[in-house]
Amino acid sequence: MTATDPALTALANGWGALSLLHARIEAHIERALQGGHELSVREYSLLDVLSRQHDGEGGHLQMKQVADAVVLSQSATTRLVTRLEDRGLLARYLCPTDRRGIYTDVTAAGLELLAQARPTNDAALQEALDEAAKHPELASLVKAVRDVDAPAAR
């Protein structure tokens, strides 16, 4: 392959379109969450991930798992957890079976804010996808996003 190989150009174009779609969606959701709930996309994602924990086997996430789930470094995730803890939305505690481990739970205030923000997030995502679908270079990617885990037509 050479730098002008059509296959590489197509891959670069596809990657550019995917990056553009992601940026547009994230920016639209960010504006909606900030305006309506004073939450960033990352803060919302963190609250959402942590709210899905449970008391069963493997139900609580370690910080590395949380970082992977919100697509941040461990240090950035720790700073984000600290900010939300300072706002009273999260609480940390020692793992009962391994005192070296620290878990994070969403507080009642965090769950309430998440419940209020979820419809805003969902509507903003839908709006961003609808707008992106109007652009031919993004339409196939929007379809792919909408088809992920969509119920199979019978």
Which structural domain, as residue segments, surrounds residue 85?
7-147
Is 115 within the bounds of a domain? yes
Two tokens, residue 17: 């379109």
**Alpha-helical runs (H) found in 91-148:** 108-133, 136-147
Q: What is the 8-class DSSP label of residue 2?
A: -
Is 1 within the bounds of a domain? no
Mean pLDDT of 71-95: 94
Length of the chain: 154
Confidence of residue 117 (pLDDT cuts 50, 70, 90): very high
The total domain count for the chain is: 1
Mean pLDDT of 85-112: 89
Is 2 within the bounds of a domain? no
Q: 150 or 12: whose pLDDT is higher?
A: 12
Count of Cβ atoms closer than 10 Å to residue 112 Cβ: 12
Confidence of residue 152 (pLDDT cuts 50, 70, 90): low
Mean pLDDT of 40-69: 90
Two tokens, residue 57: 């086997």
| Cβ pair 45, 128 in contact under 8 A | no
Closest CA to 106 of 72, 134, 137, 81: 81
* CATH, residue 77: 1.10.10.10
Q: Which residues of 33-62 are buried (b: 16+ CB within 10 A; e: fewer)?
A: beeebebbbbbbbbbbbbeebeeeeeebbe
Residue 151, helix vs strand vs coil: coil
| Cβ pair 149, 45 in contact under 8 A | no
